[in-house]
Copies of this chain bind each other. A is one copy, B any other.
């Protein structure tokens, strides 16, 4: 089987493994898998194959490995860096994990659940709530993204500060290797020191080392109360001081700490006039803070105390506490509308970066100045998860500029920003991964020996190069 099979023989073989109904080649049926929703990345495929279970995934991998057919694992197809999209050759097979969507087990006493890769994040959250537990991972695409995709990209989102990213939330995985062998490591254990941490290697590897088919995930006690506030601040240094004050008072109870610049609010209120600014005055920056507690009452008072102390010390200029669930949702709607609200403002060049938390203010100052020097009139809209040092340093085009010409500067502007990120020991992909989009950038920012080790691991685990080739490395 070492020679390349002809297409129809390959399709027949795949159909024998997953059933003919699950080898899709009709463009009407495959279109949604071949292009990601924004239309930035698209490709062709020999077929979209939809196995029903781990055994079938194993069969597909074993066949494709022998036949040297590349596999592109895909979950909810919501990734932002092209990691889940086949190339233009039409010779790759998209391996959709969406039919592996069983909740295999929920164990509230052990605070774990075992889910298959195709379970959506929203369904995972629901499964946890059904036993009065919290699965804390939360991000914009949660309605359609899947656990397999979340793990393959080590998804972060809004609660990393308190609970960690996908890798931190996983105790075990089941993985199909390139040649079809199955690693059964669905451990529910909190402590296990029997050998190398294989789990962490496959998580965040974007499907290039193996195909994650199921995971044992951590649950947490469901918080009994939340308090949410919006604060106006003079600058990111003050935001950092507020974060520190909140961490001192609430520790891991600080669930989210989001930073929003004034221009971000302007964009949001222009795009969604129904949304209201929680603060009356004009503030250069705002912070959206959420704290959570296992105790039923008293959290609003604790938040008011925090904001009072911050006002007194000159850290915040003004603040507003969400007085109802509706108000809480309205605060969050501002934050969640931000990415979309940039669209009517023309082209936006994105940077999903992180720096050490203490370096965020200096990074923001330098990057803003550098971008404005690089292109006068360009409008930085840096927002994001200050608590994790993860800033979405998006830059909207100058007013009236030609969008296409502006977007033509994408790489050049990236270079300006990433140089500063690198100087602060930061990351050019804090949460979205590398995929196709940032593959060429990796050697510029990553330790060369680390890249050599990554390549060696790739060769070891995928010697025929069939797992998501052209991604990451």
A194 to B390, CA, bound (A): 13
The reply to whether B191 and A201 form a contact with Cβ atoms under 8 Å apart is no
In the complex, the chain B residue whose C-beta lies closest to that of A430 is: B191
0/1 interface trace, chain A 82-120, chain B, CB 8 Å (1 if under): 000000000000000000000000011111100000000
A183 to B190, CA, bound (A): 28
The reply to whether B451 and A188 form a contact with Cβ atoms under 8 Å apart is no
A236 to B160, CA, bound (A): 33
The reply to whether A354 and B294 form a contact with Cβ atoms under 8 Å apart is no
Q: Does A256 contact B (CB under 8 A)?
A: no
A385 CB to nearest chain B CB (Å): 7
A139 to B36, CA, bound (A): 49
Say how many copies of this protein the assembly contains: 2
The reply to whether A295 and B191 form a contact with Cβ atoms under 8 Å apart is no
- The interface on chain A, measured as residues whose beta carbon lies within 8 A of the other chain's beta carbons, has a size of 95
The reply to whether A358 and B107 form a contact with Cβ atoms under 8 Å apart is yes
The reply to whether A358 and B109 form a contact with Cβ atoms under 8 Å apart is yes
The reply to whether B425 and A189 form a contact with Cβ atoms under 8 Å apart is yes
A165 CB to nearest chain B CB (Å): 6
Within A160-178, which residues are at the interface with B (CB < 8 Å)? 160-161, 164-165, 167-168, 177
Question: Which of the residues B188, B425, B438 comes within 8 Å of A356, measured between beta carbons?
Answer: B188
Q: Does A433 contact B (CB under 8 A)?
A: yes
- The verdict on A425 contacting B184 (CB below 8 Å), with A244-B109, A451-B195 known, is no
Given A160-B191, A190-B387, 14 extra CB contacts under 8 A: A107-B358, A167-B200, A168-B168, A183-B453, A184-B449, A189-B427, A190-B390, A192-B429, A195-B450, A196-B204, A197-B201, A198-B450, A220-B252, A251-B294
